[in-house]
Amino acid sequence: MLPSALLLASFASFAPFAPYTYAFSIPPLPHLNFLGIADAQKHQQPLHDTLDAWIQQEERIALDKLLANVSPGGRNVEGQGVAPGTVVASPSQAGPDYWYQWVRDAAITMNTLVDVYAEDTSSPLGGKLSSILDAYTSLQQMIQHTSNPSGTFDDLSGLGEPKFEIDGTSFTGSWGRPQRDGPALRALTLIHYLHEYNASHPTLWTSSRADDFFAPFYEASMPPTSVIKADLEYVSHYWNQSGFDLWEEVEGLHFFTLMVSARSLREGSQLARAFGDLGAADWYTLQAGYIENLLSKFWNKQKGHLVETLWSKRSGLDCGLLLGSLHALPADGSDDDAVYPPWSDKILASLLALTRDQRDRFPINSSPWSSSDDEEVDADEEEPFEGTGLGRYPEDTYNGYSTTHHGNPWFLCTSSAAEVLYRTASHISTSANLIISPTSMPFYTSLLASSSLDVNEGAYGPSDALFHSIIERLGAVGDQFLAVVRRHVDAEGSMSEQFDKETGFMTGARDLTWSYGAFLQAVRARKVMKSL
């Protein structure tokens, strides 16, 4: 059934926004085609190149290497029985075996590809990406209906299954399941894709093709017949049940999972409304509100930071806090209704605490300023906030192969810190307003520790020197995090999952798809910041 003309207006108003506008976009190198980075990656990047030059080159390499792990078309997956629409987590099939499709990794990767698609929907790359996204949608519909150890489609319990075989069949080995972030992330990605597709095909909504086009994505019918509706039903009915965290290890209620759940229901509610599915729209909004309420419990006042899992023995410091904040941003770039956006006091306080922990924990993070043995200074008070290699969480014992050792810094976590800082800089500069509260005071103090400015609580605007220094430092420290990424990639610009905390060499699953995606997202946020 086509939505009524009345609702068209609401879809039209939610459709054509351009999430981010760039002052410049990187023209493709003439010798590169869609997958062809081969020439550029053969020689090592000269070390004296500026970070800007490296980022520009690495952006192309990361996209190429990410696409290599995506079917159809990816060179690491072609001819190996990988179902079209699949994202393999890594081409590594042993030691460790990441030759699967994780629902989370796939959704996050496809969301990155939606951003790339939106940059130029009518280019050859745009066309290719749109067919990849269509294949992804069909495959997800298929795997939603595939019975698996988490359950079935009938009561939707099967949607909590975290990973599938590369041909789309169920994975039956023992695993930390269910994981409830997958359906939320998938809904967010597909809603984002619908927005972008609709924006670039403005006549589609009213055309006779509309029914056919939208049916796999959203239909009001119950039981669900479309991917997004099934995911929203899953999230809205299961969010208050415990499940495994994004790292697949602990059972409970998790910040990352709940953040993306709430956002998926907020976006889903708007979508449902556009399709005349008003009862569902209200239901999703109601549940989103409950989740946001629960999220307030993740702030631990004594500790002075957020915690990733409620009632856990762990400290709670976790890269999942950063990822939860980033992946729960409204797709339209509006900031108003985000819970714990990257620039919020509580995320910044948590980032500071996590960074300090990881700086001291990993030998490769030692830098000249931390080597001085000035006992009388309270290190935390005096030391500036600087970019450093970040891992998943302090207590981590997974070294990329087994959990009997120690954790290491991860590429995707290090990139996510950069993205938080770039987005914070953009937010402060566009809102022309910076409020330093007791909660964010330690963050801003250590951010500016290397300057001569005094940081005091209060409100600041473009007429204050402090306002500009803070924006400048946010960008500079974001760049330090990306400089850490740069230091640990190999000569071809490849990224695995982790880099060794002592030697700095890459370790864990090679060519981890998510590592490339997280880097691309940070670079995207950096471009927005630079365009302001």
The binding track of 223-262 with respect to ligand NOJ, each residue x by CB under 6 A or -, is: ----------x------------xxx--------------
Answer yes or no whether residue 283 interacts with ligand NOJ by CB under 6 A: yes
Cα 247–chain centre separation:
14
Which whole-number Å values give the CA distances from 514 to 87, 341, 481, in the listed order?
Answer: 10, 21, 17
CB of 246 to ligand NOJ, least distance (A): 5
CB of 263 to ligand NOJ, least distance (A): 17
Only one of the segments 62-70, 197-205, 273-281, 382-390 lies at the binding site for ligand NOJ (rule: CB under 6 A); that segment is: 273-281
Cα 230–chain centre separation:
22
Please report, as residue ranges, which positions from 9 to 68 form the binding site for ligand NOJ (by CB under 6 A).
none
Answer yes or no whether residue 102 interacts with ligand NOJ by CB under 6 A: yes
Binding footprint of ligand NOJ, residue count (CB under 6 A): 15
Nearer to ligand NOJ, 218 or 467 (CB): 218
Please confirm, yes or no, whether 248 is among the known catalytic residues. Answer: yes
Dihedral sign, CA of 90, 94, 96, 102?
A: positive
- Based on its alpha-carbon atoms, the radius of gyration of the chain, rounded to whole angstroms, reads 22
Please confirm, yes or no, whether 212 is among the known catalytic residues. Answer: no
φ, ψ (nearest 5 deg) of residue 87: -110, 115
Cβ proximity of 391 and 358 under 8 Å: yes
> DSSP letters along 367-388, please?
-GGGS---TTS-HHHHSPP---
Which whole-number Å values give the CA distances from 511 to 65, 113, 212, 254, 523, in the listed order?
Answer: 7, 17, 37, 27, 18
* β-sheet bridge partners, residue 252: 243
As a whole number of angstroms, the distance between CA 514 and CA 520 comes to 10
Which of 19, 45, 88, 104 lies at the binding interface for ligand NOJ (CB under 6 A)? 104
Query: 336: part of which helix (H) or strand (E)?
Result: none
As a whole number of angstroms, the distance between CA 222 and CA 156 comes to 12
Nearer to ligand NOJ, 277 or 318 (CB): 277
Answer yes or no whether residue 108 interacts with ligand NOJ by CB under 6 A: no
Only one of the segments 12-20, 58-66, 96-104, 324-332 lies at the binding site for ligand NOJ (rule: CB under 6 A); that segment is: 96-104
CB of 105 to ligand NOJ, least distance (A): 5
CB of 514 to ligand NOJ, least distance (A): 6
Only one of the segments 261-269, 272-280, 424-432, 516-524 lies at the binding site for ligand NOJ (rule: CB under 6 A); that segment is: 272-280
In degrees, to the nearest 5, what angle opens at C-alpha 208 toward C-alphas 204 and 213?
60
Please report, as residue ranges, which positions from 426 to 455 form the binding site for ligand NOJ (by CB under 6 A).
none
The binding track of 189-218 with respect to ligand NOJ, each residue x by CB under 6 A or -, is: ------------------------------
Cβ proximity of 185 and 111 under 8 Å: yes
Please report, as residue ranges, which positions from 451 to 510 form the binding site for ligand NOJ (by CB under 6 A).
none
Nearer to ligand NOJ, 392 or 427 (CB): 392
Give the relative orientation of helices 278-295 and 255-274 as an angle to the nearest 10 degrees.
Answer: 160
Tokens standing for 444?
A: 């801003």
Only one of the segments 45-53, 97-105, 325-333, 369-377 lies at the binding site for ligand NOJ (rule: CB under 6 A); that segment is: 97-105
Which residue's structure tokens are 């009997």? 404
Give the relative orientation of helices 103-119 and 181-200 as an angle to the nearest 10 degrees.
Answer: 20
As a whole number of angstroms, the distance between CA 392 and CA 394 comes to 7
- Which of these is catalytic: 119, 248, 335, 360? 248
Nearer to ligand NOJ, 277 or 357 (CB): 277
As a whole number of angstroms, the distance between CA 171 and CA 148 comes to 7
Nearer to ligand NOJ, 258 or 455 (CB): 258
Which of 161, 231, 277, 479 lies at the binding interface for ligand NOJ (CB under 6 A)? 277
Nearer to ligand NOJ, 180 or 427 (CB): 180
CB of 532 to ligand NOJ, least distance (A): 32
- Which of these is catalytic: 245, 357, 497, 511? 245
Tokens standing for 478?
A: 């974001």
> Identity (one letter) of the amino acid at 309?
T
Answer yes or no whether residue 105 interacts with ligand NOJ by CB under 6 A: yes
CB atoms within 10 A of CB 303: 14
Answer yes or no whether residue 181 interacts with ligand NOJ by CB under 6 A: no
Q: Which residue is nearest to ligand NOJ (CB)?
A: 280
Which of 15, 88, 89, 260 lies at the binding interface for ligand NOJ (CB under 6 A)? 89
Which of 107, 227, 228, 280 lies at the binding interface for ligand NOJ (CB under 6 A)? 280
CB of 425 to ligand NOJ, least distance (A): 27
Nearer to ligand NOJ, 117 or 275 (CB): 275
As a whole number of angstroms, the distance between CA 150 and CA 155 comes to 11
**3-state secondary structure (DSSP) of residue 70:** strand
As a whole number of angstroms, the distance between CA 80 and CA 284 comes to 40
Work out the burial of residue 105: count CB atoms within 10 Å of its CB; fewer than 13 is exposed, 13-18 middle, 19 or more buried.
buried
Nearer to ligand NOJ, 102 or 136 (CB): 102
Nearer to ligand NOJ, 165 or 386 (CB): 165
> Identity (one letter) of the amino acid at 112?
T
Answer yes or no whether residue 514 interacts with ligand NOJ by CB under 6 A: yes
φ, ψ (nearest 5 deg) of residue 178: -80, 165
Nearer to ligand NOJ, 64 or 105 (CB): 105
Residues forming the active site: 245, 248
Q: Which residues bind ligand NOJ (CB under 6 A)?
A: 89, 98, 102, 104-105, 222, 233, 246-248, 277, 279-280, 283, 514
